[in-house]
């Protein structure tokens, strides 16, 4: 199967697993909250009483962003005490929106700051950010973290790796071209939807100026480890060579220049649509589980704590790579064994394992 795999069936692990297992993703958002608050303080307030619309685009279960969203909405409530505020959570159709609303409405262990806010209305949209989500000129502040590396489809198989960071030549070029098309299209959609003076705050996985990316910051490379362990299952006959080749993340990690190009090239449709780059920077946020391991030194505990954060966003890709002819229970058993082998590897030799978060942070304004 090549070229036709779509992102529309992708989903993070549900039932609260994602937020419980991704402390690092919350760290990224918490550390960058001042950028979002600055954007909130710069927004134009409608003079006709129309609602102010805020969006968390690619929200998963909303747990990692809920504290930041509470601060943003508090700023807007102070700035516009008489305006209704629409808080819209968007993600793919298979997202666990039930868990999202349980988190938002304080029905889980998470503390929801939205409960005490007046005239705030929460909605959800099960629509890909590659498509139109909002009516023209209706969105005031769009936020997205750790999401836009997902491309709309896999352009081809990666025959010798599971991720485009391990590809080269025409295969790498095909993923980068798909990534460029999807990034430009996503920005064009948001430019159409933003009000004049509206802002986008986008914090997404990428490749920084030193060539670092998620799980590849000088120690054991996470994606290479994924590939090695998955290939071992193929070599021993647990999965077929075709299943190995078909297991590819529908993702593209972009460089800073690739992120900025549509926003700075005066001939690009995004620039011509009025979207401008206000700020860009790269940051590495240390893996919280590796940081804790440095303190407690228990390799077994580290392995048990670490693997769920990898599994929360990657499991779907490995399940999807397996033949549709396999029963669901058989697929799950194979994938369970795969993650168990990763856990064993970390337990036996923990040094160097870490999923450090490498993000490119962009703030954009609609002129």
Q: Which domain holds residue 165?
A: 12-217+249-288+354-366
pLDDT value, residue 22? 58
Task: Kindly state whether residue 337 falls inside one of the protein's structural domains.
Answer: no
Is 40 contained in some domain? yes
Domains of the chain: total:
1
Average pLDDT of the chain to the nearest whole number:
93
Token duo for residue 46:
């409608």
| Average pLDDT rounded to a whole number, residues 33-56 | 95
Residue 311 within a domain: no
Tell me how many degrees the CA angle 347-219-19 measures, rounded to the nearest 5: 65
Q: Assess if residue 61 is contained within a domain.
A: yes
- Span 154-162, mean pLDDT? 97
pLDDT attached to residue 5: 46
d(CA 347, CA 299): 5
Contact 129, 144 (CB under 8 A): yes
Q: What is the pLDDT of residue 49?
A: 83
Residue 344, in any domain of the structure: no
**Stretch 329-340: mean pLDDT, rounded?**
98
pTM of the model: 0.91
Q: What is the mean pLDDT of residues 115-130?
A: 95
Whether 16 shows a pLDDT value over 80: the answer reads no
With respect to residue 1, please indicate whether it lies within any of the assigned structural domains: no
Is 53's pLDDT higher than 80? yes
> Looking at the domain assignment, is residue 17 inside a domain?
yes
Provide the pLDDT for residue 42: 97
Domain harbouring 106, CATH code: 3.40.50.150
* Mean predicted confidence (pLDDT) in 118-124: 96
Mean pLDDT of 153-163: 97
**Cβ neighbours around 263 below 10 Å, total:** 22
What's the average model confidence in pLDDT over 33-57?
95
**Residue 111 main-chain phi, psi, to 5 deg:** -85, 125
CB 246 within 8 A of CB 321: yes
Residue 96 vs residues 74, 133, 274: alpha-carbon distances, Å: 26, 18, 34
Q: What is the pLDDT of residue 345?
A: 98
Q: What pLDDT score was predicted for residue 48? A: 86
Query: pLDDT tens digit string along 250-301?
Result: 999 999 999 999 999 999 999 999 999 999 999 999 999 999 999 999 999 9
pLDDT for the residue numbered 2: 35
Q: In this structure, is residue 7 part of a structural domain?
A: no
């Amino acid at each position: 199967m090549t070229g036709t795999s779509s992102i529309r069936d992708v989903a993070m692990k549900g039932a609260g697993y994602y937020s419980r297992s991704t402390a690092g993703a919350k760290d990224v958002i918490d550390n960058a909250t001042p950028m979002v608050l600055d954007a909130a303080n710069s927004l134009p307030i409608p003079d006709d009483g129309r609602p102010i619309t805020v969006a968390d685009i690619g929200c998963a279960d909303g747990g990692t962003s809920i504290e930041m969203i509470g601060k943003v909405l508090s700023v807007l409530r102070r700035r516009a005490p008489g305006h209704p505020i629409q808080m819209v959570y968007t993600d793919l159709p298979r997202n666990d929106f039930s868990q999202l609303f349980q988190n938002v409405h304080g029905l889980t262990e998470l503390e929801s700051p939205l409960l005490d806010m007046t005239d705030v209305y929460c909605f959800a949209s099960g629509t890909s950010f590659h498509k139109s989500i909002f009516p023209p000129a209706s969105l005031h502040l769009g936020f997205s973290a750790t999401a836009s590396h997902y491309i709309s489809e896999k352009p081809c198989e990666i025959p010798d790796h599971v991720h485009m960071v391990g590809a080269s030549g025409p295969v790498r070029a095909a993923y980068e071209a798909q990534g460029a098309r999807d990034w430009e299209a996503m920005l064009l959609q948001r430019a159409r939807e933003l009000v004049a003076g509206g802002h986008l705050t986008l914090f997404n996985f990428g490749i920084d100026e030193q060539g670092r990316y998620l799980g590849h910051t000088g120690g054991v490379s996470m994606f290479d480890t994924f590939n090695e362990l998955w290939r071992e299952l193929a070599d021993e006959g647990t999965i077929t060579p075709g299943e190995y080749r078909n297991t590819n993340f529908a993702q593209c990690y972009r460089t800073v220049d690739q992120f900025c190009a549509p926003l700075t090239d005066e001939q690009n449709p995004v620039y011509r649509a009025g979207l401008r780059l206000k700020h860009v920077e790269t940051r590495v946020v240390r893996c919280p589980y590796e940081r804790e391991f440095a303190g407690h030194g228990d390799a077994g505990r580290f392995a048990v704590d670490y693997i769920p954060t990898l599994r929360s966003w990657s499991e779907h890709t490995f399940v999807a790579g397996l033949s549709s002819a396999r029963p669901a229970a058989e697929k799950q058993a194979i994938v369970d064994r795969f993650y168990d082998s990763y856990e064993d590897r970390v337990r036996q030799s923990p040094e160097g394992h870490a999923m450090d978060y490498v993000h490119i942070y962009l703030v954009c304004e609609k002129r």
